[in-house]
Amino acid sequence: MKKTKSLPTLILAISGCLLASTVCVAQTPINLTQDLTVQASGAYAYYARGTAASGAAITPFETMFYPGGSLHGGNAETGLDNGRKDSESTPGPISFGSGYLTDGENAPFVQGWVNIEEIVSGTHGATHDGSFNIVFDLGKTYTITSVVITYQDYSGQRWTTTVGIQKIYTSIEAPSATNAPVLFDSATAVNNAPSGSQLSFVGTAIDARYVTLELVMALGANPNSGASGGRIQEVTIMGYTPVPESSTFAFIGGMSALALGLMKNRLVRK
């Protein structure tokens, strides 16, 4: 006669499978920016860090903008993110499904960072380096393992090449002036980097919903010098669904405890 496994044995087997599959699958990084779930719910937004009048710092993560050309807004027609211009509408978040930074392609590019930057070095009204933010909202929390920015640097469209000045931050909650994100990693752009070059950020894996880019570009005199910063072609965020919260492991542990209890009772009866 064929023997069937007892209920306690089956419960233990199921618990083991759940635990093993949960841990193993969770630790395989994928391209989150191209994941269908993230594409459907994710969005990103450009945030100014300085004023057009002086380049003085403003409260971070409050003033959105759209990039574009030598003249930010105005009559700029190059480097727009899928046709969006500040002069046409109030800037807002851009969905992963419609934005150029998350379309999986190196072209078209996004470029034009004048009149929204905080001056990092140099003088307003002359050649200077300026910073701004791009915040990616993944829709829910993932474990982030690395970030890659595909970019280009050439005459008139320059990245600042100071060592380690390009930075990536992460956070569970939306970044704000009172909720500063945590530094993930920094990288260095290369002068005359050809189209398709990559800036790689590889920090310690961390759970986050928001990935914040703090980028620094080489810019000319505001507002119209013809030098409006480097090109961004694509942003790739690698990661995986985090290991389940304690409640999930408590459920698996409870099933295992139940199975062991049933097995103990069977032994006592014998």
Q: Is residue 137 part of a domain?
A: yes
Specify if 10 maps to a domain: no
| Contact predicate 162/231, CB 8 Å | no
Range of the domain at 224: 31-241
pLDDT tens by residue, 10-50: 555 555 555 555 444 558 999 999 999 999 999 999 999 99
- Asked if residue 110 lies in contact with residue 195, where contact means CB atoms within 8 angstroms, the answer is no
Asked whether the predicted pLDDT for residue 244 surpasses 60, the reply is: yes
What DSSP element (H or E) covers 155?
A: none
| Angle at the Cα of 188 from the Cα atoms of 70 and 196, rounded to 5 degrees | 65
Count structural domains, the chain.
Answer: 1
Angle (nearest 5°) at CA 111 between 109 and 114? 175
Whether residue 181 is contained in a domain is answered as: yes
Q: Quick check: is 261 in a domain?
A: no
Q: How many CA atoms lie within 13 A of 96 on its CB side?
A: 22
CATH number at residue 196: 2.60.120.260
Residue 185, strand partner residues:
168
Does a structural domain hold residue 94? Answer: yes
- Considering the entire predicted model, what is its pTM? 0.81
Query: Residue 230 domain-assigned?
Result: yes
Position 183 pLDDT exceeds 80:
yes
- Contact status, residue 79 vs residue 70, Cβ threshold 8 Å: no
Name the band, by pLDDT with cuts 50, 70 and 90, for residue 78. Answer: confident
Report yes or no on 172 lying in a domain: yes
Residues 93-108 pLDDT 10s: 999 999 999 999 988 9
Whole-number Å distance between alpha carbons of 45 and 37: 19
Is residue 24 one of the residues assigned to a domain?
no
Beta strands in the chain (DSSP E): 30-31, 43-47, 64-65, 94-95, 118-122, 128-152, 158-159, 166-171, 182-187, 197-201, 206-219, 231-240
